[in-house]
Amino acid sequence: MNRFTPGNRIELLRSGGEYFPALAAAIDAAEREVWLETYIFADDEAGRAIAGALVRAAARGVTVRVLVDGWGAKLYLTKRLERTLRDGRVHLLKYRPEVAPWQFRSHRLRRLHRKLCHVDRRVAFIGGINLIDDMNTPHQKPPRMDFAVRVSGPLLNPLVQTMQRLWALVELVQFERSDVPLFPDPIEVPRAGTQTAKFVIRDNLRYRRDIERAYLAAIRTAKREILIANAYFFPGVRFRHALIAAAARGVKVTLLLQARVEYRLLHYASRALYGHLLAAGVTIAEYHRSFLHAKVAVVDDRWATVGSSNIDPYSLLMAREANVFVRDPHFAGELRSELLQMLDTGTRPVERQHWIERPLLAKAVTWIAYGVVRLGMGLLGYGGDEWFPRRKRVPKRPAP
């Protein structure tokens, strides 16, 4: 799963305007099976369009399996849409369904956050786009910005296996009969292109830090440029140090982050990191044109990633995530062009001097939010010194 594999064809899809039609077309062309995983499956125009394609596929005799996160389903999957899927012979499962919402345990934060689909083991979709309309966000006019990829080629082998394994595991823990193997055999997928890539997941067993490690490997070997666009950016110590070290080597490090406030606590807490990064020479630009939901990066015009994983404790420590990492100058250049256009037309740079001179109240809000997040992570038992390092005490010199 962590090896780069040649022979793939990887196409960039920009937000729901490109993603939803491509996904629906692939489902409508299905002949044998459709597997889909998503955090959110909303009862809106986009969600109903994909639900319709799934039901049409099932009516043709295609085996259709849909796995949604229990918390995401609680918020967005209406009983009406769920009934439409089940009545249409779609096999629907919920990952960690909300059984007792009045009881809180830290394991409830271990959600299914990845967005995956494969059709007939010949084409797959990987990215950060939920099944929810781009305009389904309060107080916004331009559509939400996000990315996904359409993949064909040998990269489907690990993707198919991980989707089968998780489906079988969910059926097992929910005491349902399953005809899906918990340990599926590898599949043979023919070459479909010339691009080299690897599929990487994050879970709570064997692959706990694989996505973070893939990022760090690229950052530590960067020679010219690092460009990261991330909706929820709250990295741990190793990640911050890697970015700062890259900037010290003369690498141009640019962070394209969220300007609009969606989750207030994390939004203000993450801004507590700005001062340290700006002082080290890292460029920070906040995207204000619409909501930013992207989780992508480009390094040195040759390495790129698209996926579901934010760079924050939720994605890197708790949730199930999935990213594709691509070594291909053409793909990296295409994604880089998109990010540069976003930087040119939809961002405001965060100037270091302006950041230092911001009002005292703004500073207080930032550090109070940081303290609350730090306390919460500590109480939940996540992060430890990796996200919130303790100050080292300098031993006093003995008296002469």
Distance in angstroms (rounded) separating the CA atoms of residues 280 and 257: 17
Per-residue pLDDT tens digits for 50-61: 999 999 999 999
Beta strands 252-258 and 283-287 are parallel
May I ask the CATH architecture of the domain 5-198?
2-Layer Sandwich (3.30)
Q: Is 185 a catalytic site residue?
A: no
Least confident of 41-45, 153-157, 363-367: 363-367
Count CA atoms within 13 Å of residue 171 on its CB side: 17
354 is catalytic: no
56, 31 in Cβ contact below 8 A?
no
Side-chain-facing half-sphere of 50: CA atoms under 13 Å:
29
Whether the pLDDT of residue 326 is over 90: the answer is yes
Measured distance CA(101)–CA(291) in Å, rounded? 29
Global confidence as pTM: 0.92
Please tell me the distance from the alpha carbon of residue 335 to that of residue 288, in angstroms, as a whole number: 19
Q: Among 162-166, 270-274, 277-281, 369-373, where is mean pLDDT lowest? A: 369-373
Residue 395, pLDDT score: 43
pLDDT tens sequence across 91-130 = 999 999 875 555 555 556 789 999 999 999 999 999 999 9
* Alpha-carbon gap, residue 166 to 113, rounded angstroms: 13
User: Is the Cβ–Cβ distance between 315 and 236 less than 8 Å?
Assistant: no
- Is 79 labeled as catalytic in the residue annotation? no
Residues of the chain above pLDDT 90, percent: 74
241 included as an active-site residue = no
Q: Residue 260's pLDDT is what?
A: 84
Summarize pLDDT for 120-177 with one digit per residue, the tens: 999 999 999 999 998 876 656 678 999 999 999 999 999 999 999 999 999 999 988 8
Q: Which amino acid is at 40?
A: I
pLDDT score of 282 more than 70: yes
Helix axes 237-248, 210-220, angle to 10 degrees: 10
- Catalytic choice (113, 118, 198, 267): 113
Q: CA-CA distance, 145 to 128, in Å (whole number)?
A: 10
Question: Is the pLDDT score of 393 beyond 60?
Answer: no
Selected catalytic residue, list 115, 118, 198, 267: 115
Higher pLDDT, 376 or 143: 143
Q: How many CB atoms lie within 10 A of CB 104?
A: 10
Is 91 annotated in the active site? no
Alpha-carbon span 238 to 215, nearest angstrom = 11
**Whether 113 is catalytic:** yes
3-class secondary structure, 259: coil
Question: Could you tell me the CA-to-CA distances from 72 to 45, 114, 317, 333 in Å, in that order?
Answer: 17, 12, 18, 34
Residue 285's identity, in one-letter code, is A
pLDDT digits (tens, 9 = 90+) for 63-74: 999 999 999 988
CA distance 134 to 142: 9
Catalytic residue among 94, 118, 267, 295: 295
* Fold designation for 210-384: Endonuclease; Chain A (3.30.870)
Rounded Cα distance between 43 and 249, Å, is 49
| 224 within 8 A of 30, measured Cβ to Cβ | no
Mean pLDDT for the chain overall: 90
Can you tell me whether residue 111 is helix, strand or coil?
coil
So what's the pLDDT on residue 383?
A: 61
List, by residue range, all CATH 3.30.870.10 domains of the chain: 5-198, 210-384
**What distance in Å separates the CA atoms of residue 308 and residue 200, rounded to the nearest whole number?**
11
β-pairing verdict for 225-230 and 5-14: unpaired
Task: Supply the pLDDT for residue 1.
Answer: 60
